Structure 1
Amino acid sequence: MHSEPEKRIHKNAIKAWTVNALIMGLIWFIPLGFYVTISIGDTFGTDLYWYQGIDWFLFTVLLIVALFLYLLIGLLYPKLRWQRWKYDVSEKEIDLLRGIIIKKRTLVPINRVQHVDTRQGPVYRKFGLSSVTISTAATTHEIPALDDETANELRNTISSLVRKVKGDV
């Protein structure tokens, strides 16, 4: 049995994932907006006091649930995700360990790797991070949130290990 991977992704991952989660977390407020729109739609044109059409108890419950999920996913989840993410690269394989509730461990044999890419979106760019994607014939694996230099070095290391194993040196 292999020992657990040692290397961690960059600490700025927490900030980048928090920003992403808080932006995407606004989706939790859409049901609340629909509820208010539907509630005032019946009385808006006919009644001067449109807010009377809202069931304030239901509105408050929806608001509390939306805020709870927003803060949970935006503030707690990124830190837990960072704590659980580890990886290692050796001459034989790439070892990925991740997961908050269910740990998922993936071993990608070096000889199965077809190509390696680095990727950087706008939020990662802001925090100086990149992801390394490793493609095999079956699927693509990702090591997220590495600093740019580490990502480039890792991409080059994996690429040279693949060439060495496949005899393309």
Structure 2
Amino acid sequence: MIPENAQSLPKRVKAAWLVVDISALLIVFVIGLIVNLVFKLDWSGLVAIGINGLFGIVMLAIIGDAVLIPYHYRFYKYVVNGSAVSIYKGFIWRRSETIPLNRIQNVDTRQGPIFGFFHLQNLAIVTAAHAFKIEGINEDVAQYLRDQLIAAARQAREVDTDD
């Protein structure tokens, strides 16, 4: 169950995700076109049908991801409290990740060209065992959370070692 105080992503992340999907779709289409032109594939050969079928499946998967953007947005939330960071994703296929502050080893912000255009960043939270990501948050919120999580992780470690 997603708590009431969970933070949603900014609405413009939907546009950024759509641009990412459209870019991926165009890249796959161009690569498929180039492969067909270079190898002069025609639809009569079994290999050509297989290769073009593979490109078609990849393109359908990208289109499916684009169609599901409103679903991803609605159920992608996060909560930062005094002891942990929780990330919630999905409704049909629910996934919740909780990262105790005293386990955090590193916090990074990442921004590609598309997210940079929309002034969004990804916040990567790294523990000894896993890496977690809060995807597509405002640049200022990402920097604030990064600093807050680093300070909270240091404080949580100091409290654990004071015993």
TM-score by length of 1: 0.73
Q: Structure 2 unaligned runs (5+)?
A: none
Backbone CA RMSD of aligned residues: 3.1
Residues 131 and 143 in structure 1, CA contact (< 8 A), matched pair in contact too: yes
SS at 1:39's partner residue?
Answer: coil
Residues 21 and 63 in structure 2, CA contact (< 8 A), matched pair in contact too: no
Q: Distance in 2 between matches of 1:66 and 1:155?
A: 35
Give the CA deviation at 1:2.
7.8
SS at 1:167's partner residue?
Answer: helix
Number of equivalenced pairs: 150
Q: Structure 1 unaligned runs (5+)?
A: 41-52
Rg bigger for which structure?
1
What residue number does 1:48 align with?
none
Structure 1 stretches (4+) deviating beyond 6 angstroms?
62-67
Residues 14 and 79 in structure 1, CA contact (< 8 A), matched pair in contact too: yes
Give the CA deviation at 1:38.
1.3
Residues 25 and 59 in structure 2, CA contact (< 8 A), matched pair in contact too: no
Q: 1:121 aligns with which of 112, 116, 122?
A: 112
What residue number does 1:44 align with?
none
Amino acid at match of 1:24: A
SS at 2:42's partner residue?
Answer: helix
Q: Distance in 2 between matches of 1:2 and 1:71?
A: 28
What residue number does 1:93 align with?
84
TM-score by length of 2: 0.76
Q: Distance in 2 between matches of 1:103 and 1:14?
A: 20
Is 1:38 equivalent to 2:30 in the alignment?
no
% identical aligned pairs? 26
SS at 2:116's partner residue?
Answer: helix
